[in-house]
Every structure is written in structure tokens, then in C-alpha cells.
Amino acid sequence: MTSTLLPGDVIWRNGRIATLNPAIDTPYGLLEHHDLLVRDGAIVAVTPALTHPHCQVIDLQGRLVTPGLIDCHTHLVYGGNRAKEWEQRLNGVSYQHISAQGGGINATVNATRGTSAQRLQQQAQPRLTALMAEGVTTIEVKSGYGLNLDGEEKMLRVARQLAAENPIEVTTTLLAAHATPPEYKGDPDGYIDYVCETILPTLCQQHLVDAVDVFCESVGFTLAQTERVFAAAQALGIPVKGHVEQLSHLGGAALVGQYKGLSADHIEYLDEQGVLALQRAGTVAVLLPGAFYFLRETQRPPVDLLRKYHVPMAVATDINPGTSPFASLHLAMNMACVQFGLTPEEAWAGVTRHAARALGRQHTHGQLAAGFVADFIVWDAENPVEMVYEPCRNPLFSRVYRGAAHYPQGQS
Ligand code: DI6
Ligand code: FE
């Protein structure tokens, strides 16, 4: 099968292929002097020196190749920004005071509701472009700043439109249970009714929802409210994930495990019981060091316990205007190493194969192996550690999405 070449096949010749395939027992699953055989946007083989009577050959000239990066937790689409609020906070104004003046998540809800879909898309595009320029080929985008049917639908449609207009795969997550909107002030249970009975089923029916997320936190929703949303999602056959144990320990990660969720995200306050629940469920732990940094947190996620129980760790940007205004997955990898003690190889697994699992795409994305999508990055770098070590120097040479190469301006 692997050596039967067909017209139209493309051989990417002589790369140093960091496959991130855990079955290959070298750092990063690295294979020297290997070729990638690509057919119809997918990888058919990773082998040494293919012969090529009829098909196109692209010479990698010994360059490093990795899987395309996957940012598995983002709030990429939003209106406005919260720069003034951040400045106020650094000038000593309390978060409660800012919230009482309509700040915080609800400030972004206001701005997002008041911005047209077209404008939201225009504003999200530079953030997406920045991530793509670093080699991101799959991204998850959450709703959560509409908090009513129209607003959530608008955000998810913008995410789908970005996918239609860019060489990137976008998965959409409904985060209607992000905060209680002003119309339901004092009645979060009433809002959860509306989420479960109206927003979720309507948007699922429109095929806008790949997964469902809840902000399970003292400033978000209780464990019981979270469970109601998870049960409604499960009844519709939609996988769940959670913003859990970020600022306190409520038991949200164990609940995500109970629902065999895709991922438990943030998890600074996760305990050993919660780690075991993730292990049993096969749920990914998503680390978000940008939010940890921006909020000047001191409680670190339990990386040693996650390692001990072999819970896969992903790393994502969490890009959002309130707690992580960074469109850089390289920087998130660097922060995961510096702040949380991941090794660079763990950080790479966190933005490739483990991030793929957090999106339910572990059988097709996040590794360079036969049967996986032909999403890969060619780098002018010796070693994958360089992108983690020096996050502001981007050595991307070319970005290949479904077998088609995109070169940054000025190269070809
Ligand atoms: N956790 C966070 O850190 C963000 N959302 C969430 O669930 C905050 C988002 C924001 O402040 O706009
Ligand atoms: Fe988030």
C-alpha cells in the first residue's frame, strides 16, 4: 500500500520529521531523512527514500517538519477589548468595583452583542492570522459572549465563516453557560433553563455545536448547574468539556470525567481525586498558562500528578479579552514550560496529539503518520525546542494544510 504511488501523489522528500507519534521511540518521534507521501490531503506514508516515477516531488532539503499546531481552547471571536479595565485594575481599582460598573465578562457581552457578525469576523481575523502564521492548522473557537440565542448563534456562525475563508479547521464549542447575562441577574437557574431548553437544542439543530462547555466556578456556575448543561448535551449526543478548578476547587473536573468529557481546562486547583477521575475517563487536562500569567495566579496545576497518572496534558492560548489577550501558541508553550514545569517535548505534545484528543480528533490530527491529515509545518530550525525557547522568533518556512503549501510573504 505505502509504496504503490498514484498520479497526483506528492512526495515531500528528505525531511527531519518530528512525527509526535508516541509509537516511535525517539524524542518528538523524530525520523531523520524521511519522506512524507501525501494523497488527497492526507498522509499515506512516512518512509525513507520513496521512488517517484510519476509524482510531484518537493524537496524539504533536510528541514525540520512537525504536525500543524492545534489550539484547542480559544475565545477568538469577541467584540471590543478590556484594556482600560486592565489599566484600572493595575491602578488599584477592585475587580468587584469594575464588575459593578458593568465590567468583566459582561462588558465583552455588551460589546459583542453590539457588533455585527461582519465586524466580529473582521476583528477576529488578525488574531486568527497571527495563530496561522505560527503554524496553527486547527483551532477550537468558543461562543460565550452572546449569552442569548441570537448572540451565541452569531458568534458560532462567525467561527464557521472564518473556517470557510481560511486554510484552517475550526471546531466550535457552545459556552452559553459562561456567565449569567444581565437579563437573568439574580436568577442563574432561570438562565440555565434557557440554555438547556432553547439555546443548546436550537444551535445543535443548526449544526453549529461540536462540543459544549461550562464555566464551573464561584463566579460562574455551580456544580449542579453545570451538570444540568452536561446532561442536556449528552441527551443530544454532544461531547462536553469544562472550565474547571481555575480559581477554586468545586469538583468540576470529576464531573467532566463522569460525563466522559473531552477535556478539563485550567485545573489549577485540581486534586488527586480529580486527576484520577480524568485518568479513568480518558479526559485531557488542558493547561492555560496565559490566563495564569495574566491573572498573576500562584496556584499551579498539579503537573506531577497528571504525569504520575498518565493524563494527557494539552496546552492552549485561551485567547480572550479578559484573562489571556495573547494570540501566540508558541508563547503559551514557553509559559507552560517556564511557569508549570513542562518539558519542551511535553509542550509540543500539548499542542499536537494531546490537543487533538481534546477535540476528539486524535485518530486523524496531531501526528504525522499514515491515515492522518496532511497538516504540517516546515521550519527553518534545527530542533522543535527552538519554537518553545524563543517564542518571539518565528522560524516557520511553510505551512501545509491538507497537502497544500502556504508560504509566508516573500518566500516561495
Ligand atoms: N475563564 C476565564 O479565565 C475566562 N473565561 C473563563 O471561563 C474569562 C473570560 C473573560 O474575562 O472575558
Ligand atoms: Fe477559556
pLDDT for 96 equals 76
Distance in Å, CA 24 to ligand 2 centroid = 33
CB 217 within 8 A of CB 247: yes
Ligand 1 atom at shortest distance from the alpha carbon of 175 = 7
Q: Assess contact for 82 and 107: CB atoms under 8 A.
A: yes
| Interval between CA 1 and ligand 2 midpoint (Å) | 43
- Beta carbons of 211 and 262 less than 8 angstroms apart: yes
Note the ligand closest to the C-alpha atom of 219.
1
Q: Cα–Cα distance between 260 and 258 in angstroms, integer? A: 5
Residues 6+ apart with CB under 8 A from 62: 14, 15, 16, 33
**Nearest Cα residue to 162 out of 196, 194, 199, 126:** 126
Q: How far apart are CA 154 and CA 111, in angstroms?
A: 13
Helix 149-165 to helix 117-133 angle (10° resolution) is 50
CA of 133 to the centre of ligand 2 (A): 22
Per-residue pLDDT of the chain (412 residues; tens, 9 = 90+): 445 788 889 999 999 999 999 999 999 999 999 999 999 999 999 999 777 667 899 999 999 999 999 999 999 999 999 999 999 999 999 877 887 788 899 999 999 999 999 999 999 999 999 999 999 999 999 999 999 999 999 999 999 999 999 999 999 999 999 999 999 999 999 999 999 999 999 999 999 999 999 999 988 999 999 999 999 999 999 999 999 999 999 999 999 999 999 999 999 999 999 999 999 999 999 999 999 999 999 999 999 999 999 999 999 999 999 999 999 999 999 999 999 999 999 999 999 999 999 999 999 999 999 999 999 999 999 999 999 999 999 999 999 999 999 887 555 4
Residue with the nearest Cα to atom 4 of ligand 1?
323
C-alpha cell at 305: 500528578
- Closest ligand 1 atom to Cα of 291: 3
pLDDT of residue 3: 57
Ligand nearest to the CA of 320: 1
- Cell 508563547 locates to 331
Element (H, E) at 387: helix 385-389
| pLDDT score of 409 | 59
pLDDT at res. 1: 43
pLDDT tens digits, one per residue of 339-353:
999 999 999 999 999
> DSSP label at 324?
B
Q: Which residues line ligand 1 (CB under 6 A)?
A: 105, 108, 178, 215, 243, 246, 291, 320-323
Q: Whose CA is nearest to atom 2 of ligand 1?
A: 323
Q: From CA 410, how far away is CA 138, in angstroms rounded?
A: 24
Q: For the chain, give the number of residues.
A: 412
381 CA distance to ligand 1 middle (Å): 34
Q: What are phi and psi of 308, to 5 degrees?
A: -55, -40
Rounded to an integer, what distance in angstroms lies between the CA atom of residue 176 and that of residue 158? Answer: 15
Locus of grid cell 491538507: 402
Specify the pTM: 0.97
| Beta carbons of 331 and 391 less than 8 angstroms apart | yes
Q: What is the pLDDT of residue 99?
A: 78
Nearest CA to ligand 1 atom 7: 215
